[in-house]
Amino acid sequence: MSIIIGLTGENCAGKGTVADYLVKKGFYYYSLSDIIREELVNEGREISREALISKGNDLRRNFGSEILAKRTIDKLEADRNYVIDSIRNPAEAQALLATGKMTLIYVTAPAEKRFERMKSRRREGDPRSFESFKLIDRLELEGRDQHGQRLAEVFALAAKKVENTADFRELYEAMDAVLGEISAEFKPKRPNWDQYFMNIAKVVASRSNCLKRHVAAVIVKDKRIVSTGYNGTPRGIRNCNEGGCPRCNSFAESGTKLDECVCSHGEENAIVQASYHGISIKDATVYSTFSPCLLCTKMIINSGIREVVYNADYPLSEMPLKLLREAGITVRQVRVEKE
C-alpha cells in the first residue's frame, strides 16, 4: 500500500526542507498550493502570496473547503508514495486522512528562528518586522473564515510533531524516526547516536587488561569522539592480567579492598587522556559501559562534563548517581544488547 505524508506547519518552519528530503527517498511531491497556482496561471494573474491566499479561499468557498485536497487526491497513483505540502484548512486534512493512507506531520519551530529564516531568503512581499511576522502567524492560526486558512485546527489533527530547531541532520533523523514508525520499509537500519557511541565504548572495553571486569568510556562533543579510556593499570605499570594489581589478582569481592586496587577506571582514563592531550571536555557527554564509581563521579563533575550515559549499573552506584544529579548533570541509562 502506498504511503502519503501530509505536511503542515507555520511559515518558514521547514516543511519544504522535509518535503525535499522525502523526495530524495523516492516520494512524489504535491503541494495543495499547486492547484491554486494552476488557477492563477489559467486566469493570467500574477502569482504572489496574497493572490494564492485569496484564490485559495475563493476555491474553497465556491467548491467546498476540501476542494484542493480532492483535486490532488485525483492525481495520486496507487503504487507510489507521496508527500503533500501546504495543508492549511482542516477540511483538506480530513479529506486526505479519509484515504486511510496519510499520516499528517506538523513541522514547527520557534517564531524567532522562523523569522530569521524568512529574512535570509529575501523574498519580495515578506514582512520586514517581527511584529508583522507574528501578526500573519496569528491570522493564519486563528482564521475564522470556514473556507480560509485555519492552521491551529489542522495542527490538532496531526499524528506526529517534528521540531525543526537545530541543523538539517537532526531534522532528517527526526523524519527517519517518524518514517520508521509508519512503515517497516523505512525503519532505519543504522543505530541511533546513543547506540553508536555505547557500542564503540563496548569495543574500547575489549582492550581492558583488568581481571575483574572490562569497563570503558567514550567522551563525545558535537557527536565527535574526543577521548576514550578503559580500565587497567597506569602507564608503565605491569598489566592487571599480568599480576600488576594485587586486589584484582586476589579476586576480592566487589566493593572490598578498594584501597589495594591500582587500576584506573574507564571514565578516569578517558578524562585523564583528554587532559594529557590538551583537549577540553567541558559540556561533553561521557558514554560508559557501567555507571561511574564515586571517584570517577567527582572527576566527571569537576571536568565540566554535562551528561553521563551508561549501559549497566555499577554495584555501588546509588551515591554517585545522586551526586551527578545534584550537580546538574544529565544522567541517562541506555541499555545496549550484547552481541
Q: What is the rounded distance in angstroms from the CA atom of residue 312 to the CA atom of residue 333?
A: 8
Do 282 and 304 contact (CB within 8 A), yes or no?
yes
CA-to-CA dists, residue 88 to 19, 112, 150, 161, angstroms: 16, 21, 6, 16
Closest by CA to 92, choosing from 47, 38, 150, is 150
Pairing between strand 82-85 and 4-9? parallel
Q: What is the rounded distance in angstroms from the CA atom of residue 266 to the CA atom of residue 216?
A: 4
Q: What is the 3-state secondary structure (H, E, C) of 253-287?
A: CCCCCHHHCCCECHHHHHHHHHHHCCCCCCCCEEE
Place of cell 577506571: 265
- Indicate if 337 belongs to the active site: no
Burial class of residue 5 (count of CB atoms within 10 Å of its CB; 0-12, 13-18, 19+): buried
Q: What is the rounded distance in angstroms from the CA atom of residue 193 to the CA atom of residue 222?
A: 11
Q: What is the rounded distance in angstroms from the CA atom of residue 69 to the CA atom of residue 94?
A: 9
Q: Cα angle vertex 278, ends 273, 280, to 5°?
A: 90
Residue 45 CA from chain centroid, whole number? 42
Can you give the length of the chain in residues? 339
- Residue 78: phi and psi, rounded to 5, are -65, -25
Among 10, 66, 267, 268, the one annotated catalytic: 267
Angle between helices 266-276 and 193-205 (to 10 degrees): 90
Burial class of residue 312 (count of CB atoms within 10 Å of its CB; 0-12, 13-18, 19+): middle
Residues classed as catalytic:
267
